[in-house]
Amino acid sequence: MVTAPVKTPVKKTVAKPKAKTTTNIEKVSEEILTKLKSLDLDQQLQADLEWCLGSYRYDQNATGLIEAIGKAHEVLKQAHVKKTKGITSTLLSTIEKVLN
């Protein structure tokens, strides 16, 4: 007597949506650059950030961009302490997420 093979039910795995693991470094860099320009803070840093952002877009190497973001974080933190209008704690915490 021949019996049909028993099929075991196949579990379907549902792909979980990827958690937002990292903050988009490019988006944050553009936000920082916009803020620095609008407040007219540190023109040399603005130029460095623009250059590093362009370089990052070309080769996806974030080393220089992260360094420029770190410098911008310090400048923005100092301005925040002076109560400069437009620099929020949210912006600073977003920058810190990128740096960590």
Per-residue pLDDT tens digits for 39-55: 999 999 999 999 999 99
On average, the pLDDT of the chain sits at: 85
CB atoms within 10 A of CB 80: 15
Residue 75 domain-assigned? yes
Instruction: Note whether 69 and 29 are within 8 A (CB).
Output: yes
Residue 59 domain-assigned? yes
Q: Regarding predicted confidence, which is higher, 27 or 19?
A: 27
Given this model, what pLDDT does residue 86 score? Answer: 86
Given this model, what pLDDT does residue 19 score? Answer: 38
Q: Which domain holds residue 82?
A: 25-99
Mean pLDDT, residues 81-86 taken together: 88
Gap between the Cα atoms of 57 and 45, Å rounded: 18
Gap between the Cα atoms of 92 and 96, Å rounded: 6
CB atoms within 10 A of CB 36: 20
Given this model, what pLDDT does residue 85 score? Answer: 87
User: Helix, strand, coil proportions of the chain in percent (round to 5)?
Assistant: 60, 0, 40
How many domains are contained in the chain?
Answer: 1
Residue 17 domain-assigned? no
